[in-house]
Structure formats: C-alpha cells, structure tokens
C-alpha cells in the first residue's frame, strides 16, 4: 500500500477522533517526511516504550500471535494517556524545571524516539506526558557522509564560580563547541567572554584550560557530571580560590556522581548517551563501525613534563565508584603472560566474527590501556574508552554504581577470550559419557573438545579443568564429567557469631526486668534471636516474646518480622523484649511512656518539650476494656515489681488498683477471638468509684513520641489502631513509691570490653578453604540431579576434584554471601602463601604432568569496608624488580611483601613457577618498542 503524503492527512486528522488506520498512516507519513528532511537541530521526542507498544498494537503495526488469546482483547483497545513518568526522575515529575531523564534508559527497551510532528499528533489525540524533547545533531565521527544522531543525554556539568565557590548545574550537548560553552556561561553569569577563563576542574584541581574555542566538548574530553571552574581575568591573569594545578594535560576524568547511583547509557549500543536511530519504528538503525577507535582516554598522546624510565607503575583514575574495575585491571596488566602478549602484535588473533564477543573492540581497548599503563611512567591514566567497551559487552557495569571486582574480572576474562578466540567457526560437538573409560582418557577428550571451540590466550593461561562426580543415593549410579574453570571460588570455613544483649520485661508485672546476653549467628534473623532468648529466660509455654528497639526513651520499632536479618541491629542499639501471652496480637497493646512531673504540670505550654525518662513498659488489655479504671489497673499491675520495700503505704485507691489489676494469666482467648477475664471488674460503679485526687499517679493519652497529652475518659477511650499509648507523670511521690532505676540506663546490644578481644575469630589458611571447596556434600533441594539410572530427580552427593591446573591460578575468596533476606561479608583473615604454593596434593591428574604445580603470588585484589560503602585496591608485584606495590586508583606506593597478607584479601593471583611462558626476561620493556606497537592492532585491515 502506498503511503500518502503527510499533507493529505492533515485535513482529515483535524476531525477527531481518528480511526486506528488513520492514526497509523498519518504517523508513518510524518515519520517518513521527517527522516527524509532531517537536519541538524531538529527535535525528537521520547515516548515510553510500553505505551508505544500499546499504540502499535492498537493501530495494527504489531500483531499478537493467533494463539496468544490472553492478549488479543488488549490489542483492540485504544491506549490511555501517554505516560512518560518512568523515564524521568521522580523529583522532577511535578516540578517546574525540565524533566531529568533516568540515566539507565535504553532505546527500544525503555523508550522510542519520534519526530516533533508525530509527538504533536500523539499528544493531540491522547494527552499525557511529561514532554521530553532532544536535539538531532550531526555526528562528526562519520566523515564522508552525513549521519545524524539524537543527543538523548546532553552533558550535565557542574560549574563552580571561583569568585565565591558557588555551584550550579548546566546542560550542553557533547557536540557543542567550546565557544558555545563560553557563551552559555557568560549569559548565565553576566560576564564578558574576554574576562573569563574556564578550566577542566577534576577533584578541585585545575587540569586543563579550555582554550581551543573550535574544539567540541567531546574532543576536550569533558564527560557527564564533570566539574568546570570559572575564573575572572585581572590584568591578564585569572583570579579565584587557590587550586593545585597539575602538569598532566590528559588527567581528565569525569567526577562520578557522589550522591546518586545513576549510570550513563543511551541508545541500543550504549553510545555515550547518543541514540543513532531516528524514528526507530519506521526506519533502519544507523550504527557506527565496530572497530571505530575511541580516543577519549587520551591514548593518542602523552606528556607529563619529565622522562621516567619506570614502567608498570601507572595508576588508574577513578571515574566514579570504579575502584572495583581499577583493581581488576591492575591485577591483569601485571600478569606476565598478558603483558608479553599485548605488547606484541596481537591483531592477527582478533576475532571480528564471533557473535559472543565485541568484534575485537574490548581486546583492542584493553591492549591500548595496558600499553599506556606500561609506557606512562608514574602518571595515572583515565580508562574511559575501556570502560565504555566493557559496558557494551556487559551492560550491568555501565554507569557509576559500585560492583563486585571478582564478578567484573570474570566477565572481562570471558570477553577478552571471545574477542581473541582463534576459532572462527565453532564446531558442533555432542557431549559424551565416560562409559567406563579411564579418567585420563576421558578428561583429555573433554579438554580437546573444549579447545576445539575455545582457543585463546585466556584459555592457554587461565583455564583449568574440574572433575565432577555425582552419586545417586538410591541406585548408586555414578556420573563423571570434566569441565573447564577460569578461577576457584573458595568458601571460608568459619562460623561467625555475635553476642547480643536484650533486656526482658514482664508484661504481667510478675518480675523485674533482666538483661540477657545470647550468642547468635551473625547472619541469623530475629527468629534465631527470639529462640535463644526463649531458652535463656525460661519462658513459659503460654508466653511469647515481643522484640522491640528503644531509642530516645521510646519504642522506635517493633521487630515483628521473624526473618528480618540481624545485620540490621547495630551494637549501639538498645533492644528490649516483653513477655506477653501467646496470641497477644488479638489484644489491645498498652504502651506506657514516662515523663518527669514538675510544678508546671498543670500548664500545657511547659509540657511540650519535656523529655521522656525511663524505658517504655508494655502490657495487654482486652479490646473492650478501655475505661479509666481498666487502664489505671493495668498500669498499676505492671508497676508492682518496681515497688520499694520501705515505701510509704499507698493510699486506699492505690492498694485497690494494685491488688485488682488485670493479670495476663487471667486473660483467656476464646475460639472466636474474643476475651474473657477472671477477677477483673469493668462496671460503671468501679469507674465512678475512682476519685482523681486519690489516684496513685497521673496518666494521659499520648502519641508515639509522648508529645501529646489528652485526658482519659471515665467510660471508654477511643483507640486508633492496635496500640494505646499512655503517658505517666513521675513526681517525687511516685519516685518514693517505685524504684525507676530498673527501667533506666538499659545496656546496649554489645559493649566492647576486656573480654571482647578474646572472642576474635580465629584465622584460617588457604588450604582449609581448598579442603572445604573440594569436600563431598549433598546437592540442595532446589538443585536436584536427574539420575539416568532411576529416571528421577535425586538429591545426589557431589564431589569436585582439580584435574588440570592453569599457568595463572586465580583464587576467589567468597567473603560475600547473598540470600533473599540478607547480605553479609566475612572479614576472616585467610593466611595464604606468597611463595611455594604446592598444589600437588589437590591435583588428580596422573599423566602428562611434566610441570610441578608450584605457584607464586604476584597480585591481590583487596576489599575494605562493608557491602554498601566498600573500597577496592590491588597489590601487584613487578617481576623484574621483585618489589610489591599498592595500586589504589591513581595512587601508587611501594609496600613490603609481609604487609600484603591482610583480612581485606579478596582475589589472589598465582603464577606457576617455571611455567611454559614467562616474561621475567622480557620485562622491563623498552619504551620506544611500546610506542611503536601502540597502534599496531589498528594498522591491520580486518
């Protein structure tokens, strides 16, 4: 069908509503016309992909499968309003400023781009929003022909005024010229361009003056969230606050967001915030060359003002929470076989045909980065281009979130392998069983099959082979497989416990509060804590514990979720537990707060800011017993244990209330959830008998903070929710009658002291970790094995053995554990050997063992801190110097060998002694040779 021009539909479309077919044809015509006449500066609008798909189904552009009966009715429905709320940050949806895009969006998955004319029609038909427009710009990276891209994520820069240190955010396109940046700043700050200087201002240090006015922002290596500094010239110079300048013109790295965990992504290929598709639903995708060189790292030139003959001591700038990446890179670029490989011409091994790789881009970016780190002396390098390529191969590492260094290392090694795989077309190989053949024969066959599909420098140096044995517990069927591995993930064979102190109160008023200290698993939950407390305080079968945290003399929260992790409880917290009857959830919880009374008690204005004292008491009363006498009787009963032995005789009403209070043992829950009471009178006669002047203390209804005082009615008091809170005023009379010391100054969860040093966890050694990893254990219930003998899923026993060890042995210590409800880190010190790691006892291969499995440590990845705010660094050894260095992002310092064993060790890198390929003799590398090879991979046509 021929699509008419857009003009042919304008008259018809003005008569609303249009039919689905008319909408489809008009949008197609408008899109085609916009694409044919696209020019620099045109606008494209973002539309939520979910809404766009609904519209496409409605107009018939996308049809459901005939057997998808559940979706057919929806396909006939006209979509509702355009909803772009998920594309923007929540705080800007209702604001007056331009909406801020979420930084994790991808075209085709989260949004689609439509021309301005299409958006206007869609908005006219459906309304909604918010409206999000972006400019079309000419891509200068495609010489020889015009290629337009959409600047989905314009740069957000932080402009710092050197005159008063004030800050403001500005947005500008990456393709804008430096003179456009100057014009924008001059307009915003009301200054003349001839009077100012703008600096690249990373980490409060003037790195580079932005003086080339014809250079683009992208070419000046200014990136998202970068800081720039405005200075005012005075008599030919500039003025501002004092800064620390550097001679490194290329140390230009973006300031990672410090208060946000956003990532930078945009377009189907993560092209730094650009989208290459124009009207993606009606046009072809425009993509860049897969081997287009990205020079944003500043790899093309380098100058630090001095000549430095030291190689391999360059740091890596932190791009914003990228310490996890930097530590992994430093460990790999100090791996001798990789140094030798990437300093030679490796272009002949780049695999541009492998669909599992990145057509060689990741390997090239890593090779360039390695060469720069080995040729730049002691000056740090910003790994921008490499991070971009890595993010394309593994999108989860895009942006500036903190990630696991070992997880990144695994993806990086896999990506390098796929980019350097010598096998261009992988043959199909059917998996075979051992059929009783000797292990040596079957293992060699499996290894050869693996090498037939996977052959690279990574396989040669990093991969070994497991032997996995499964035994059926019913028919004793044995299944043996041999699988490759890239690293060993070793568990830490230790139990981590913690001591928690909880003060237990009686809700029935039959005992004084008592602190109990119990030992529980550090990764346990509240159910474990309550069980331990139940055992130690000899709880009755008719009682249960209600756990709570007390803060600022009030109950901060009740810990009623039994699976809540104990990691949420800090050592400085104060925990209490109330002994209440089983089924107390069906009763009304009475919470008693305490406050000091004074002579101004009758004047409410003096009570507003009076602080609470003591610890809240908790008991239960029947839901229908909320009269004044009921409340006073319940409070009196709970206070009985605190009566002083030599107190003045209480008055008649106090005796009456203390003697006839509601015992919790007398409250019986019936089958229908109602309550019956023994010995508790709630008649109006008793209510009327209570004389305010004869009451033993003063109570009033309050809120959870104790900041409100409302009188207690005689007959009934309305309660909203399941908790009634009352405030008790403590005068000198109450203090003479009751001893409040027992509910004051409660112990913290854990107080470090003299004995705490003796309870430190014992260290483990690397061999005990290996033993725990290789021990036989049953499979989990969720990981059942299908036994070919029984033809059923069985909980088989599994045994791992190391059959073949690689030249480079990577050992991952499993310090982090994750489950559905908790996360935990083990700080156990692992004593690992630096020299002469003998793996003979663990290798099961009996033939073809020409090399002794002796290893020497050459690198360590460290993790410091907890799960959320941790930091990574690396220790690495320069083989030719036999010296160790600490690589902490851009900072590199010498370290003694005996200092690298710490409880922060996370990933260990061992190199086989006397391996088949070492570079001990080939390193140090002549810097002229490095410079001559730096562009070798790009010089060859592929």
Active site residues: 323, 871
Q: Using CA atoms, how far apart are residues 136 and 278, in angstroms rounded to an integer?
A: 9
The secondary element (H helix, E strand) that includes residue 873 is strand 871-878
Are residues 354 and 421 in contact, defined by beta-carbon separation less than 8 angstroms? yes
Q: Using CA atoms, how far apart are residues 428 and 923, in angstroms rounded to an integer?
A: 40
Angle between helices 652-659 and 628-639 (to 10 degrees): 80
Residue with tokens 């140390």: 251
Are residues 823 and 867 in contact, defined by beta-carbon separation less than 8 angstroms? yes
Residue with tokens 């396989």: 459
Q: Using CA atoms, how far apart are residues 273 and 155, in angstroms rounded to an integer?
A: 9
How many Å from the N-terminal Cα to the C-terminal Cα in the chain?
Answer: 42
Q: Using CA atoms, how far apart are residues 114 and 43, in angstroms rounded to an integer?
A: 9
> In the sheet that 133-138 helps form, which strands lie side by side, from edge to edge?
111-115, 43-48, 133-138, 148-151, 274-275
Q: How far is CA 829 from the centre of its chain?
A: 25
Q: Using CA atoms, how far apart are residues 253 and 246, in angstroms rounded to an integer?
A: 13
Among candidate residues 55, 26, 31, 25, the one with its CA nearest the CA of residue 45: 31
Are residues 79 and 126 in contact, defined by beta-carbon separation less than 8 angstroms? yes
Among candidate residues 662, 596, 666, 613, the one with its CA nearest the CA of residue 635: 662
Q: Using CA atoms, how far apart are residues 339 and 369, in angstroms rounded to an integer?
A: 11
Q: Strand 830-831 to strand 764-765: parallel, antiparallel, or no bridges (unpaired)?
A: parallel
Helix-strand-coil split of the chain, %, nearest 5: 25, 25, 45
- Spell out the residues 6+ positions from residue 97 whose beta carbon is closer than 8 angstroms to its own: none
Q: Using CA atoms, how far apart are residues 76 and 60, in angstroms rounded to an integer?
A: 9
Residue 759 phi/psi, 5-degree rounding, is: -100, 15
Q: Using CA atoms, how far apart are residues 627 and 632, in angstroms rounded to an integer?
A: 9
Question: To the nearest 10°, the Cα dihedral for 296, 299, 303, 306?
Answer: 130
The secondary element (H helix, E strand) that includes residue 338 is helix 336-343
Helices (H), 435-475: 439-453, 457-462
| Sheet strands (E) in 755-870 | 764-765, 777-778, 785-787, 792-794, 797-804, 808-813, 816-818, 823-825, 830-831, 837-838, 854-864
- Spell out the residues 6+ positions from residue 909 whose beta carbon is closer than 8 angstroms to its own: 331, 335, 808, 809, 810, 811, 857, 858, 859, 860
Among candidate residues 126, 123, 129, 175, the one with its CA nearest the CA of residue 153: 175
Are residues 279 and 115 in contact, defined by beta-carbon separation less than 8 angstroms? yes
Q: Using CA atoms, how far apart are residues 154 and 176, in angstroms rounded to an integer?
A: 10
Q: Using CA atoms, how far apart are residues 442 and 433, in angstroms rounded to an integer?
A: 8
Supply the DSSP symbol for 643.
B
Are residues 368 and 385 in contact, defined by beta-carbon separation less than 8 angstroms? yes
Query: Number of helices (H) and strands (E), helices first, in the chain?
Result: 22, 42
Burial of 29 (0-12, 13-18, 19+ CB in 10 A): buried
Supply the DSSP symbol for 382.
-
């Amino acid at each position: 069908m021929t699509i008419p021009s857009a003009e042919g539909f304008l008259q018809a479309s003005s008569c609303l509503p249009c039919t689905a077919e008319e909408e489809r044809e008009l949008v197609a015509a408008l899109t085609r016309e916009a694409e044919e006449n696209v020019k620099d500066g045109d606008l494209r609008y973002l539309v939520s992909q979910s809404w766009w798909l609904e519209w496409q189904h409605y107009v018939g552009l996308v049809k459901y499968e005939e057997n998808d009966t559940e979706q057919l009715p929806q396909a006939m429905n006209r979509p509702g309003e355009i909803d772009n709320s998920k594309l923007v940050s929540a705080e800007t949806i209702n604001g007056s400023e331009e909406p801020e895009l979420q930084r994790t969006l991808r075209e085709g998955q989260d949004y689609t781009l439509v021309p301005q004319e299409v958006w206007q029609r869609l908005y006219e038909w459906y309304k909604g929003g918010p409206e999000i427009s972006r400019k079309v710009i000419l891509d200068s990276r495609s010489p020889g022909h015009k290629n337009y891209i959409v600047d989905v994520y314009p740069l957000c820069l932080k402009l710092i005024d050197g005159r008063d240190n004030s800050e403001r955010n500005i947005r500008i396109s990456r393709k804008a010229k430096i003179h456009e940046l100057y014009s924008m700043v001059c307009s915003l700050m009301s200054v003349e361009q001839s009077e100012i200087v703008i600096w690249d201002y990373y980490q409060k240090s003037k790195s580079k003056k932005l003086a080339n006015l014809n250079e683009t922002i992208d070419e000046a290596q200014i990136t998202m969230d970068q800081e720039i500094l405005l200075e005012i010239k005075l008599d030919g110079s500039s003025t501002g606050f004092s800064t620390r300048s550097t001679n490194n013109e290329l140390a230009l790295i973006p300031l990672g967001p410090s208060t946000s965990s956003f990532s930078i992504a945009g377009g189907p290929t993560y092209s730094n915030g650009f989208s290459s598709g124009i009207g993606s639903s009606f046009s072809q995708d425009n993509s860049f060359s897969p081997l287009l060189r990205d020079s944003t790292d500043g790899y093309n030139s380098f100058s630090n003002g001095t000549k430095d003959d030291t190689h391999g001591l360059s740091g890596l700038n932190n791009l914003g929470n990228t310490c996890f990446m930097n530590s992994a890179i430093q460990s790999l670029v100090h791996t001798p076989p990789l140094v030798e490989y990437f300093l030679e011409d490796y272009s002949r091994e780049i695999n541009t045909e492998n669909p599992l790789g990145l057509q060689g881009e990741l390997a090239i970016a890593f090779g360039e980065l390695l060469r720069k780190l080995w040729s730049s002396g002691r000056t740090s390098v910003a790994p921008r281009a490499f991070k971009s390529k890595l993010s394309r191969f593994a999108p989860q590492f895009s942006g500036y979130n903190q990630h696991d260094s070992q997880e990144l290392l695994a993806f990086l090694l896999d990506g390098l392998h796929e980019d350097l795989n010598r096998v261009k077309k992988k043959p199909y190989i059917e998996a075979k069983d051992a059929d009783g053949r000797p292990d040596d024969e079957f293992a060699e066959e499996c290894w050869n099959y693996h090498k037939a599909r996977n052959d690279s420098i990574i396989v040669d140096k990093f991969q070994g082979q497991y032997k996995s044995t499964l035994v059926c517990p019913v028919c004793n069927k044995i299944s043996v497989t041999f699988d490759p591995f890239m690293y060993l993930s070793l568990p830490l064979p230790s139990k981590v416990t913690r001591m928690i102190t909880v003060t237990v109160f009686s809700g029935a008023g039959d005992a004084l509060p008592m602190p109990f200290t119990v030992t529980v698993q550090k990764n346990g939950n509240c159910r474990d804590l309550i069980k331990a407390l139940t055992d130690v305080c000899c709880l009755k079968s008719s009682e249960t514990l209600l756990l709570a945290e007390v803060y600022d003399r009030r109950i901060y929260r009740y810990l009623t979720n039994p699976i809540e992790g104990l990691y949420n409880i800090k050592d400085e917290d104060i925990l209490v537990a109330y002994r209440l009857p089983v089924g107390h959830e069906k009763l009304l919880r009475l919470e008693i707060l305490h406050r000091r009374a004074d002579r101004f008690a009758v004047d409410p204005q003096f009570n507003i800011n009076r602080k609470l004292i003591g610890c809240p008491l908790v008991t239960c009363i029947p839901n229908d017993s909320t009269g004044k006498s009921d409340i006073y009787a319940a409070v009196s009963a709970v206070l009985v244990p605190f009566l002083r032995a030599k107190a003045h005789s209480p008055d008649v009403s106090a005796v009456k209330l203390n003697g006839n209070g509601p015992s919790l043992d007398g409250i019986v829950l019936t089958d229908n959830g109602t309550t019956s009471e023994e010995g508790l009178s709630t008649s109006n006669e008793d209510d009327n008998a209570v004389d305010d002047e004869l009451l033993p203390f003063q109570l009033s209804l309050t809120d959870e903070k104790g900041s409100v005082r409302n009188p207690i009615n005689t007959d009934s008091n309305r309660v909203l929710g399941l908790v009634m809170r009352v405030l008790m005023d403590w005068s000198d009379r109450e203090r003479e009658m009751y001893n409040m010391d027992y509910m004051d100054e409660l112990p913290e969860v854990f107080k470090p002291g003299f004995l705490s040093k003796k309870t430190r966890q014992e260290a483990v050694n690397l061999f005990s970790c290996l033993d725990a990893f290789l021990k036989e254990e049953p499979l989990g219930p969720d990981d059942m094995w299908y036994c070919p003998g029984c033809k059923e899923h069985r909980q088989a026993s599994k045994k791992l053995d190391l059959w073949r060890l690689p030249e480079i042995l990577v050992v991952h210590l499993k310090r982090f554990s994750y489950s559905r409800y908790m996360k935990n880190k083990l700080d156990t010190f692992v004593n690992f050997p630096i020299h002469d790691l003998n793996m003979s006892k663990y290798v099961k291969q009996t033939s073809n063992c020409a090399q002794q499995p002796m290893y020497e440590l050459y690198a360590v990845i460290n993790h410091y801190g907890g799960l959320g705010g941790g930091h990574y660094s690396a220790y690495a050894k320069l083989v030719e110097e036999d010296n160790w260095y600490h690589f902490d992002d851009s900072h590199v310092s010498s370290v003694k060998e005996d200092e690298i064993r710490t409880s922060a060790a996370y990933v260990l890198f061992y190199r086989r002694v006397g391996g088949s390929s070492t570079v001990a003799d080939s390193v140090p590398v002549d810097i002229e040779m490095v410079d001559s090879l730096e562009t070798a991979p790009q010089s060859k046509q592929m």
